[in-house]
């Protein structure tokens, strides 16, 4: 009986202290970027294909983020009419966005995912990220399913903008 009680007590001690002992401290990934308001640090857009029409040179990219956290993005209604929004990411939100980009593996992805000899009018989405120590653009052909898994998640996160937003005014 004493052995049984000792075994139960030992099991309880292990179950009680094991989770505490197994915790691994998490240190956030250090990130740095150009924090100037005029520094474009992230851009995402879709180019080519049927989206290229007269006046396309005046088209605003789907998402742009500047170093001070200002974000401008486009949303389209059911008829395809664009509305341009702007908001602001706090320094912590922008740092977390950069961490998300790194954790998705963005800087290890190939630069291009698509046919080696693509059609001239084939639409493709791109994301450009500029940090203090590195910059990269990744482009994915729209009809390609072999692009990196995280590309779509990252594009959606960027395109979500911010909850607090207002119509774009053109100023900073």
Domains in the chain (CATH in brackets) are 40-167 (3.30.1560)
**DSSP at 28:** P
Q: What is the pLDDT of residues 17-71, one digit of tens each?
A: 445 556 777 777 889 999 999 999 999 999 876 544 444 556 789 999 999 999 9
Contact indicator for 134, 107 with CB cutoff of 8 Å: yes
The two tokens of residue 17 are: 């202290």
The reported pTM is 0.76
Between CA 98 and CA 45 the distance in angstroms is 18
> Rounded to an integer, what distance in angstroms lies between the CA atom of residue 94 and that of residue 92?
5
Distances (CA, A) of 116 to 82, 109, 140: 32, 16, 12
Between strands 63-66 and 135-141, the pairing is unpaired
pLDDT of res. 108: 96
137 pLDDT above the threshold of 50: yes
Strands 135-141 and 112-113: parallel
What phi-psi label fits residue 76: left (phi over 0), alpha (psi between -120 and 50 degrees) or beta?
A: beta
Task: Give the pair of three-digit tokens for residue 96.
Answer: 């977390």
Report how far residue 153's alpha carbon sits from residue 85's, in angstroms, rounded to the nearest whole number.
20
Question: pLDDT at position 168, please?
Answer: 80
- Weakest mean pLDDT among 19-23, 132-136, 144-148: 19-23
């Amino acid at each position: 009986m004493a052995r049984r009680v000792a075994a139960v007590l030992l099991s309880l001690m292990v179950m009680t202290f094991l989770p505490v002992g197994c915790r691994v401290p998490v240190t956030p990934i250090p990130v740095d970027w150009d924090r100037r308001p005029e520094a474009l640090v992230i851009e995402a857009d879709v180019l080519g294909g049927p989206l290229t029409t007269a006046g396309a040179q005046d088209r605003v990219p789907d998402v742009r983020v500047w170093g001070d956290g200002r974000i401008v993005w486009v949303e389209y209604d059911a008829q395809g009419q664009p509305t341009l929004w702007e908001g602001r990411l706090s320094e912590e939100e922008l740092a977390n966005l950069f961490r998300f980009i790194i954790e998705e593996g963005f800087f290890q992805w190939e630069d291009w995912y698509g046919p080696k000899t693509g059609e001239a009018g084939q639409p493709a989405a791109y994301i450009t990220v500029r940090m203090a120590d590195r910059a990269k653009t990744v482009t994915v052909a729209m009809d390609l399913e072999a692009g990196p898994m995280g590309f779509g998640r990252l594009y959606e996160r960027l395109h979500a903008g911010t909850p607090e937003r207002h119509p774009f005014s053109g100023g900073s």
